[in-house]
Amino acid sequence: MIENLMDTYKRYPISFSKGEGSWLYDSDGGKYLDFAAGIAVNVLGHGHPEIKKVMHEAIDNVWHVSNLYQIPEQQKLAKKLCDISFADKVFFCNSGAEAVEGAIKTSRKYHFEKGDKDRTEIITFKNAFHGRTLATLAAGANPKHTEGFGPLPSGFVNIELSQKQLEEKISNKTAAVLIEPIQGEGGIRITPKEDLQMIRDLTSKHGVLMILDQVQCGLGRTGDFFSHEWAGVEPDIITLAKGLGAGFPIGAILASTDASSGMVHGSHGSTFGGNPLACSVALKVLEIIDEEKILSNVKSLSEFLLAGINDIIENHKDKITSVRGRGFMLGIKCEVENTLIAETALNNGLLLVPAADNIIRLLPPLNTEKKDIEEFFNLLNITLENLPR
Ligand SMILES: Cc1ncc(COP(=O)(O)O)c(C=O)c1O
């Protein structure tokens, strides 16, 4: 029944009527282990009672007012995000693409206000994904996504990740370098710590801002709250979305006072961005991540998850060959078509997400329990044994 929907998604013929923890249920009683988590969104699984409660409370009080007024929940959320990061200022929006788009604007305006009006270029990297607005498409520079949508905004330079390439392209026209610490859509490719440090060194040397797109890899997914902590670098700007609202739409740009200095009255805006309901939910998500020791759950169980996958690979080398990633953001390299594995997994009650480079992504809720991971091993084995030839 999709006649009236634009045909932008190839959808599986299934819908869900209930969710609890890491499990989803269809109306025929079918049960699915959700290792897709809405593509890294449901960080606390489905139906978390505290999230339900905070949503009900916000609905009983006030769920939307515009940014013409003070929104205490928004201020509290901004303070919390700044307390746990390098950032001093936050702008709230509704999605990942909006956060990245806003980060690009923030970096260009920074240089403009400092009188460096030619510094407009944004350097990005091969296989990146930053969203589907025109500017974020230009940033990703993936012909599969951009074809037919031109003309795209100018001022984006997409390069291979190497010191040599970056040294060649960085100049007094560069506003920012934009990178995902771990590429998600691009196939779970980790940016090595040394490369993040190299980018920080070069950007600092050239007075260029460093933007880390953590829409997919942030919010505890790698076992650290932010996905640069393991690299020991401090960026100027971070983008967040997906897991921040655990399923309720909210995005955020986090920046230092200096990097955000161009974002003055009237320079940017969003009707829905940072409304009381979204911010109450996100505040609760952060509280639960802390109280339920979610980061240590990811850190300790990811070892168990990795070890189990490596065992399964040993027995199915003709179908899957390796696993990469960090924390609960893992990619299994497939020998057979990744979409065939995803489809067979679905038919066997396991939800997985394909990514580029013939990868199957595992993005379980961050509060997934050990027994769910054991069930994952079982379902992955069944899937691989039942792949159609
Ligand atoms: C790294 C990254 N940036 C930006 C986006 C865009 O987010 P949204 O789909 O919420 O616009 C995504 C979405 O997958 C992403 O993975």
Q: pLDDT digit string (tens) for 210-251?
A: 999 999 999 999 999 999 998 999 999 999 999 999 999 999
Distance (Å) from CA 4 to ligand 1 centroid: 25
Atom of ligand 1 nearest to the CA of 241: 10
Last residue of a domain, one of 250, 266, 291: 291
Ligand 1 center to 193 CA (angstroms): 22
Distance CA(187)–CA(190), nearest Å, equals 9
| CB-ligand 1 contact for 125 (6 Å cutoff) | no
Task: Please tell me if the CB atom of residue 97 comes closer than 6 angstroms to any atom of ligand 1.
Answer: yes
Angle at 244 (CA atoms; ends 176, 323), nearest 5 degrees:
80
Asked if residue 237 and residue 333 are part of one domain, the reply reads no
In ligand 1, which atom is closest to the CA atom of 184? 16
The predicted-structure confidence for 342-378, as pLDDT tens digits, reads as follows 999 999 999 999 999 999 999 999 999 999 999 999 9
- End of a domain among 232, 265, 291? 291
Do 42 and 186 fall within a single domain?
no
CA distances from 382 to 18, 307, 313, 339 (A): 24, 18, 13, 16
Beta strands 182-183 and 156-159 are unpaired
Q: Most distant CA pair in the chain: distance in Å?
A: 63
Measured CA angle at 331 (ends 329, 334), to 5 deg: 165
Determine what percent of the chain is predicted with pLDDT higher than 70: 99
Residues 220 and 298 in one domain: no
In this structure, the answer to whether residues 283 and 304 fall within a common structural domain is: no
Final residue before a domain boundary, out of 244, 268, 291 = 291
| pLDDT of res. 1 | 60
In whole angstroms, what is the distance from residue 389 CA to residue 108 CA? 52
Measured in residues, the chain has a length of: 389
Residue 340 scores a pLDDT above 80: yes
Statement to judge: residues 239 and 308 lie in one domain: no
Per-residue confidence (pLDDT) for residue 125, from 0 to 100: 98
The answer to whether position 13 is within a domain reads: no
Contact predicate 43/37, CB 8 Å: yes
Taking Cα atoms as reference points, which of 381, 368, 371 lies closest to residue 341? 381
Mean pLDDT of 294-299: 97
255 SS3 class: strand
- Clarify whether residues 60 and 199 are in a common domain: yes
Pocket test for ligand 1, best of 125, 129, 222 (most atoms within 8 A of CB): 129
Give helix 338-347 / helix 370-385 axis angle, nearest 10°.
Answer: 110
Q: Which residue range is the domain that position 119 belongs to?
A: 50-291
Q: Quick one: how far is CA 214 from the chain centroid? A: 5
Per the domain annotation, does 6 fall within a domain? no
What would the two tokens of residue 185 be? 């859509």
What values do phi and psi take at 124, rounded to 5? Answer: -130, 180
> How would residue 106 be classed by pLDDT, with cut points 50, 70 and 90?
very high
Q: Looking at the chain, which runs of residues are DSSP E strands?
A: 18-20, 23-25, 31-34, 89-93, 121-125, 156-159, 174-179, 182-183, 189-190, 209-213, 237-240, 251-255, 320-326, 329-334, 350-351, 353-355, 359-362
Residue 2 has pLDDT above 70, yes or no: no
Output the CA 186–ligand 1 centroid distance in Å: 11
pLDDT, residue 156, reads 98
Please state, in angstroms and as integers, the Cα–Cα distance from residue 389 to each residue in 167, 316, 345, 386, following that order. Answer: 48, 14, 15, 9
- Residue range 124-163, pLDDT digits in tens: 999 999 999 999 999 999 999 999 999 999 999 999 999 9
CATH classification of the domain holding 310: 3.90.1150.10
For the chain, the domain total comes to: 2
* Residue 299 burial by Cβ neighbours in a 10 Å radius (0-12, 13-18, 19+): middle
Whole-number Å distance, alpha carbon 375 to ligand 1 midpoint, is 29
Residues 240 and 353 placed together within one structural domain of the fold: no
- pLDDT score recorded for residue 389: 77
Q: Are 35 and 364 in contact (CB under 8 A)?
A: yes
Give the integer Cα–Cα distance in Å for 251 and 99. 6
Helix and strand numbers, DSSP H then E, in the chain? 12, 17
**Ligand 1 centre distance from Cα of residue 372 (Å):** 27
Residue 191 maps to a domain: yes
Atom of ligand 1 nearest to the CA of 214: 1
